[in-house]
């Protein structure tokens, strides 16, 4: 039997059925009209924001990285909870615009912004996090042409990375941002060209569970911001310190010590160098805000035994949960937390694999886990499905289609 990842806190059973938002998921499935279904809990998102607000110094604003989950009702919920939004494409600009979010609180990072995206961003008044000198020149030219002063920040490629992070976004040669030593010259150029100077975006990595590593990275980011601001000779209006706060997915993972991160960051804020005294700070979180608040539900279509092994074949699969299937940036496949949702909390009785409906051996949601005995018609749940699930999976593979989604 292979271990399963840890089920996040906040999930309980009602009459033996997994409950989200105070109701058994069977009711949500009925209301949504079927499976596969992503259910996102507004309560769990709110609780996470409350935790963050309590732990982090008040001076540090909270931004939501739309890429983690662009479901519009979730964005509308977020509008009342966070202080800003970060987008990664012109498509996400249209999504946040459609959701009625305040575009003045939006920043746009992404290494391959097309001219049309720069133009849309400048016209909308979002802050562009410049990824290169070439992008700066294009943005300035487009601003001139539109007769709009562009709001420009510089994304810095820091010389450090976030230790233990699932994805390193800094440290050495990267396609993201501008190498630190070239930043001051670019800042002076952008300001001289008449842009509205918006500051730095420093993102060193994501999905780290080590509080010490995150704190150290934030300290390094602050020191780098101070040095680059000094060298630029310009006050720093804003500084996005990045994110990187991870959630436990796999067996053995433990939750981040948020209190430690908050204490260390508060100590920094209490002792800022003069050049950062007036700076507004934010951290940008996606996965940490919504990842654990989402559950993916699929129905068992077949229960099969092959050479003595049990396969629970569902109507879901990697076309909605690519990362959970172990096929998205993973070297060694490990099990996400999962359960039989309609027998939630029951003792494990057998070893079974939960697979999807796709005709490929890649389509596995849980490999040889311990579960209560499940039958055709039971629902399975994959947890940690609130981020990088629906939008990060090949929904149309093998003629399938997107899952249903609901915020409850």
Nearer to a second copy, 117 or 292 (CB): 117
Instruction: Kindly tell me which of 293 and 352 has the beta carbon lying closer to a second copy.
Output: 352
Q: What b/e sequence results for 117-138 when a residue is b if at least 16 CB atoms lie within 10 Å of its CB, and e otherwise?
A: bbbbbbebbbbbbbbbeebbeb
Q: Which is nearer to a second copy, 214 or 268 (CB)?
A: 214
- What gap in Å lies between CA 309 and CA 353, rounded to an integer? 8
CB burial class (10 A; 0-12, 13-18, 19+) of residue 106?
A: buried
Minimum separation from the CB atom of position 314 to a second copy (A):
6
Q: 5, 158, 356, 372: which one contacts a second copy (CB under 8 A)?
A: 356
> Closest by alpha carbon to 159, among 216, 107, 117, 204?
204
Q: Could you tell me whether strands 84-87 and 12-14 are parallel, antiparallel, or unpaired per DSSP bridges?
A: unpaired
Q: Give the one residue of 153, 366, 393, 403 binding a second copy; rule: CB under 8 A.
A: 393
Residue 234 vs 395, nearer CB to a second copy:
395
Judged by CB under 8 A, the chain residues 206 through 265 that form the site for a second copy are none
Closest distance to a second copy from the beta carbon of 400 (Å): 6
| Contacts with a second copy, 28-67, as mask; x by CB under 8 A | --------------------------------------xx
CB of 345 to a second copy, least distance (A): 26
Least Cβ distance, residue 59 to a second copy (angstroms): 26
* Residue 76 within binding range of a second copy, rule CB under 8 A: no
139-168 footprint of a second copy as x/- string (CB under 8 A):
------------------x---------xx
Q: Name which of residues 308 to 337 contact a second copy (CB under 8 A).
A: 308-309, 311, 313-315, 317, 322, 327-329, 331
- CB of residue 356 vs a second copy: minimum separation in angstroms? 7
Under 8 Å CB-to-CB from 308, ≥6 apart: which residues? none
Helix H or strand E encompassing 185: helix 183-192
Among positions 134, 147, 252, 274, the unique one binding a second copy when judged by CB under 8 A: 134
CA dist., res. 43 & res. 10, Å (int): 9
Closest by CA to 153, choosing from 131, 134, 177, 129, is 129
- Distance between CA atoms of residues 408 and 74, nearest Å: 10
Coil, helix or strand for 222? helix
204 phi/psi in degrees, rounded to 5: -100, -10
Measured from the CB atom, the residue of 192 and 359 that comes closer to a second copy is 359
């Amino acid at each position: 039997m292979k271990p399963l990842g840890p089920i996040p806190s906040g999930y309980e059973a009602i009459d033996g059925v997994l409950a989200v938002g105070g109701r058994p998921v069977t009711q949500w499935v009925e209301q949504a009209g079927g499976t596969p279904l992503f259910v996102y809990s507004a309560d769990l998102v709110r609780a996470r924001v409350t935790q963050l607000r309590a732990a982090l110094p008040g001076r540090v604003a909270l931004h939501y990285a739309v890429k983690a989950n662009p479901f519009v009702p979730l964005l509308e919920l977020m509008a009342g909870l966070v202080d800003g939004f970060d987008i990664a494409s012109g498509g996400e600009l249209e999504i946040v615009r459609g959701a009625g979010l305040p575009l003045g609180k939006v920043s746009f990072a992404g290494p391959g912004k097309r001219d049309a995206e720069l133009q849309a961003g400048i016209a909308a008044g979002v802050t562009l996090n410049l990824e290169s000198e070439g992008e700066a020149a294009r943005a300035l030219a487009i601003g001139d042409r539109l007769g709009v002063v562009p709001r420009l920040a510089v994304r810095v490629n820091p010389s450090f990375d976030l230790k233990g992070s699932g994805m390193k976004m800094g440290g050495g040669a990267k396609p993201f941002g501008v190498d630190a030593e070239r930043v001051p010259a670019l800042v002076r150029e952008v300001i001289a060209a008449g842009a509205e100077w918006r500051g730095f975006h420093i993102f060193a990595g994501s999905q780290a569970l080590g509080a010490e590593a995150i704190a150290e990275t934030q300290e390094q980011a602050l020191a780098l911001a101070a040095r680059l601001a000094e060298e630029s000779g310009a006050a720093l209006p804003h500084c996005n310190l990045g994110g990187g706060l991870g959630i436990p997915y796999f067996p053995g993972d433990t939750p981040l010590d948020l209190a430690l991160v908050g204490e260390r960051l508060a100590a920094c804020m209490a002792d800022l160098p003069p050049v950062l005294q007036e700076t507004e700070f934010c951290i940008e979180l996606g996965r940490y805000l919504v990842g654990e608040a989402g559950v993916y539900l699929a129905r068992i279509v077949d229960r099969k035994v092959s050479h003595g092994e049990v396969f629970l074949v569902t109507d879901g699969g990697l076309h909605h949960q690519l990362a959970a299937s172990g096929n998205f940036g993973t070297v060694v496949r490990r099990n996400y937390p999962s359960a039989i949702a309609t027998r939630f909390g029951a003792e494990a009785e057998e070893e079974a694999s939960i697979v999807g409906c796709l005709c490929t051996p890649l389509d596995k949601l849980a490999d040889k886990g311990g579960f209560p005995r499940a039958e055709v018609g039971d629902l399975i749940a994959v947890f940690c499905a609130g981020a990088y699930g629906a939008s990060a999976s090949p929904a149309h593979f093998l003629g399938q289609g997107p899952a249903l989604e609901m915020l409850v």
